[in-house]
Amino acid sequence: MKLTEVKNDECVFIAQIEGSGSFRARLGEMGFVKGQQVKRLFASPIGNPIVFEIMGSKVALRSQEAASIEVVRHADEIPDQESISASIHTPNSPFQIHDKASHCACESRKKVQSTFEHSHDVVTLALVGNPNCGKTSLFNAASGGHERTGNYSGVTVSSVIGSIEFKGRQIRFVDLPGTYSLRAFSPEEAYVAHELETGKIDAVINVLDATNLERNLLLTMQLKERNLPLIGALNMFDEVEKSQSIIDIPALEKKLDMRLIPTVARSKRGIDTLIEEAIKLADQQQASCVENRSCTKEKPKECQHSFETPTHGHHEACPCKQREEDDAMRYARIRALLQDVYQRKKGKADRTTTLLDRIFASKWVAYPLFFVLMWFIFWATFVIGAYPSDWIDQGISWVGDLLKGNMGEGPLRDLIIDGIIGGVGSVIVFLPNILILYFFITILEDSGYLARASMLADPILNRLGLHGKSFIPMLMGFGCNVPAVMATRTIENHKSRLVTMLVIPMMSCSARIPVYVVFAGAFFAAYASWVMFGLYLFGLLMAVLVAWVFNRIYHPEQDTHFVMEIPPYRLPNWKGVFRHTWEKGRQYLHKMGGIILVASIVIWALGYFPRPDREMSPAEAQEQSLMGQIGHAIEPVIKPLGYDWRMGVGIMAGVGAKELMVTSLGVLYNSPEGDSEAGSVEEASQTRLASALQTHTTPEAALGYMVFALLYFPCLATIAAIAGESGKWKWALITAGYTTGLAYVVAFVVYRLALFL
């Protein structure tokens, strides 16, 4: 029978798994292998996805994916199960744990260039472990949080590096991304495998969730097969003690042939002992390499497809049967290793998780609570964040006024005030929004709710080819596209992450509101609220269409599976939350500041030069500038849309920031500066800019202009964010091109239909 036919709280055994190689590989990493017991827990309120318990973990699958798993009610009904059990006791089994003293990685040090510099005077310790094992918390406890970030070229994956001095030795910790295996068919696995293959790691600290050893030891087995100098950290050991679970550490150390240190990252328990033992292991490894200069590193004797490096951002696991049998035998061996030395019992955390899931994940009340929580995050990010943003904006204005009063007139003053300070200011004002957004996202992720939120959103987004985790970035896009693009980091699947980035510009950000207010107030004052609501809804519909198209163009054969571990609920580590929040803010300033500064100077120069040789009004000076000349040059292109050259200049100015569209129009139509800051439709309808627009354009063209502003080129900060998060400027340029082309076509259709009607 199919796994979907199993009822809640019923236990069955896996007999066979169908589907693509990547799907079967991901399931294998999560413990879904032949012969493994699995229990259905609950389904989301609408019946999809479904949550199962396997090896002590909760995993959510879509119903169509669960239907590809054949199960039986009794283990003895599974064919060929005896051969798997027998193979783990075979002396020459390919999963025999090698003697780590017989090999070392010194030769591999010369083969691959790493992403960080290695020094013989510094002991480099890499932290490797499954997601949700407390690895980052252990890193922060060990390194003191002195961290910097290094990116792996081409993918949105990063490691964090921290350095300390420990008992007279310089120690460098490398926190590698959480991964379930080393097969290198996902960005995280590719990065971890790459770093371990460089040979610039002196020792590996394998961080294990002590409450779920059976699933965590799969990665340990793969690390052992690579003959890496390895020490284990039994993290969250306090939960083991509270639940009265049993781990015979000396016996397990003997079976695994590696040291195991109980740790509690929150209280730093066992951290010093772990570092001491890791340093000893690194010194022993170095001494072994010095004594045996001809030693070489052997690759694991398994399917070689498992270790190919993914290319072009598309990762596909080997679909061969050998790999699946390898997984089954690994887990069978793990069960044999844990027999008589490990007994897991459910504690208070498990009972709390079960209770909260009844409220937040499995009942119909989950959806109202979900939307209330998402609304609150949206509100806090852009309403509460508006106050510090205004303070920063006022501070920038004060600095500009101060320089204006103390510098002589001329291009240098205008460059500093309008180009440099204005450019940097356009980035800094978003910092509070970034910090608030990531503060809440970090809390949701650390607490375990983010996985539940993704599960609830997935049934709707899956119809568009998106992932459940696409929901939060798309929601945030209504406030600001920049933090929305950065929030796509939470989406593991490369295709879903990329498609989400590409559709976020369709979400009508708050910077477009001044355009809507001015044009709706000038031409549709009686129906302005409906016009603005229609624009937001139209943007959402266009996002749906764009997502549908991109999913059929970009790797249509690639599956976007929803195989997600549902972690237990835990209280966030507040120190870690604040540290992570600030780190994301720092990355934002670093990535956005440079490109925005350069672009703002370019836009300023286009609007400033050539300087007039006589007294001119601001509108006349703008018209004869390079920007004005470009506006006249593109007027034949935009004339079919009903726009004059001034509206064309507004479109070009909006490339820097959408607010600049109204500001530029105010200058060109010789309107007071305050017209561009009208706070309501009523105020906008009574401004001089509104009167000028009514004189120079038509309601049909105005409607098309609002649609164009909704869809065309997102601001430069968003383009830079897409380039940074995707790892390639190609996708940023594609976004700029397709949005502008789409805006032109749709605005033309809207304008012509409005004229016809």
The answer, yes or no, to whether the previous bond of 610 is cis (omega within 30 of 0) is yes
Angle, helix 321-338 to helix 249-256, in steps of 10 degrees: 140
In a domain, 36, yes or no: yes
Pair 419, 293 in one domain: no
Same domain, residue pair 74 and 104 = no
Alpha carbons 468 and 461: distance in angstroms, whole number: 6
pLDDT-flagged residues of the chain (< 70): 80-120, 145-158, 184-188, 199, 289-325, 422-424, 426-427, 430, 490, 557-559, 587-588, 590-596, 599-600, 667, 670-687
- Continuous segment of H or E residues that includes residue 126: strand 122-129
In a domain, 85, yes or no: no
CB 103 within 8 A of CB 295: yes
Give the other-Cβ count within 10 Å of 244's Cβ: 10
d(CA 453, CA 249): 37
In a domain, 686, yes or no: yes
Asked if 264 and 115 sit in the same domain, the reply is: yes
Strand pairing category for 122-129 and 563-566: unpaired
Q: How far apart are CA 60 and CA 454, in angstroms?
A: 10
Q: Quote the CA–CA distance of 8 and 273 in Å, as a whole number.
A: 44
**SS3 state at 232:** strand
Contacts 24+ apart (CB under 8 A), 411-415: 411/608, 411/611, 414/604, 414/608, 415/601, 415/604
Query: Which of 401, 337, 468 lies closest to 61 in space, CA to CA?
Result: 468
Burial 30-54 (b: 16+ CB within 10 A, else e): bbbbbbbebebbbbbbeebbbbbbb
Same domain, 259 and 277: yes
Could you tell me if 267 and 191 lie in one domain?
yes
Residues 543 and 433 reside in one and the same domain: yes
Residue 180 lies in a domain: yes
d(CA 389, CA 4): 50
Q: Cα separations (Å) of 413 from 603, 614, 620?
A: 16, 20, 21
DSSP string, 500-551: HHHHGGGS--GGGHHHHHHHHHHH-GGGHHHHHHHHHHHHHHHHHHHHHHHH
Instruction: Please tell me the distance from the alpha carbon of residue 249 to that of residue 259, in angstroms, as a whole number.
Output: 9
Domain count, the chain: 4
Neighbours of 152 (CB within 10 A): 19
Task: Tell me: do 26 and 122 sit in the same domain.
Answer: no
* Predicted local distance difference test score (pLDDT) of residue 151: 33
Closest CA to 440 of 577, 586, 587: 577
How far is residue 434's CA from residue 381's CA, in Å, rounded to a whole number?
8
Do 393 and 251 reside in the same domain of the chain?
no
Does residue 17 sit in the same domain as residue 134?
no
CATH code of 22's domain:
2.30.30.90
* β-sheet bridge partners, residue 264: 269
Residue 642: closest CA among 593, 584, 696: 696
* Residue 604: domain span: 593-756
- Residue-wise pLDDT for 399-420, tens only, equals 888 988 888 888 888 888 877 7
Question: Residue 92: its pLDDT value, please?
Answer: 42
Domain for residue 327, yes or no?
Answer: no
Provide the pLDDT for residue 19: 81
Q: Based on the domain organization, do 426 and 451 belong to the same domain? A: yes
Residue 569 in any domain: the answer is no
Residue spans of alpha helices (H) in 226-347: 237-242, 249-256, 271-291, 321-338
Q: Are residues 306 and 167 in the same domain?
A: yes
Cis peptide before 49 (omega within 30 of 0): yes
Q: Give me the residue label for tokens 């607490």.
A: 447
Q: Which long-range contacts (CB under 8 A, 24 or more apart) does 626-634 make?
A: 627/603, 627/652, 627/653, 630/606
Q: Are 171 and 299 part of one and the same domain?
A: yes
CATH number, domain with residue 290: 3.40.50.300
Q: Please report the pLDDT score of residue 206 as a whole number.
A: 95
Listed residues 320, 335, 359: the one ending a domain: 320
Domain for residue 515, yes or no?
A: no
Q: What are the structure tokens assigned to 89, written together?
A: 């006791």
Look at the alpha carbons of 258, 259, 265, 271 in this order and tell me if their dihedral is positive or negative. Answer: negative
Strand 260-262 relative to strand 57-61: parallel, antiparallel, unpaired?
unpaired
User: Is the Cβ–Cβ distance between 650 and 659 less than 8 Å?
Assistant: no
Residue 705 lies in a domain: yes
- The last residue of one of the domains, among 79, 110, 130, is 79
Helices (H), 556-677: 574-608, 618-624, 626-638, 645-653, 659-668
What's the rounded Cα separation, in Å, for the pair 261 and 173? 17
Picking from 87, 128, 345, 347, the residue whose alpha carbon sits closest to that of residue 221 is 128
Report helix, strand or coil for 491. Answer: coil
Q: What is the pLDDT of residue 325?
A: 66
Separation CA 226–CA 195 (nearest Å) = 13
